[in-house]
A = this chain, B = another copy of it.
Amino acid sequence: MATKEMRRTTLSEMKDRYIGQVGTPDRDSYEYELKMEVLGKMIKSARKERNMTQEQLGKLIGVQKSQISKLESSANSATIDTIMKVFKALKADINFHVKLEDDFVKLA
């Protein structure tokens, strides 16, 4: 615990783990909804890493445990504001990666 290295979790990893590998039926469709689900799972997973309960995390931010529960289960489309508050409390650095796909499809 004390000597663990920088932990890094990417959305891709989470997708692979929870949704399925790329190419699998349920991957590319539902992408939109699933991303929110994954975000909730990331909060949960980060909280677990910190060995915190929902109540403890809530107290750090100033909300009740039920709020945390809702966020983790993606009950709604969270605000950037909220997401950042949470990850900040978890001493996690969250950032957004945007990948602009090429206009032209490559032929295999």
Which residues does A use to contact B, with CB under 8 Å? 1-2, 4-12, 32, 35-36, 39, 42, 46, 49-50, 77-85, 87-88, 90-104
Q: Known: A35-B84, A80-B80, A81-B36. Contact between A95 and B2, CB under 8 A?
A: no
Contact of A78 among B1, B80, B87, B91 (CB under 8 A): B80
Whole-angstrom distance from the CB of A95 to the nearest CB of chain B? 4
Q: Known: A6-B102, A103-B2. Contact between A32 and B95, CB under 8 A?
A: no
Assembled-state Cα–Cα distance A9/B95 (Å) = 11
- Summarize A's interface: helix, strand, loop or mixed: mixed
Report the nearest B residue to A99, measured CB to CB: B93
A101/B97 in contact, CB under 8 A:
no
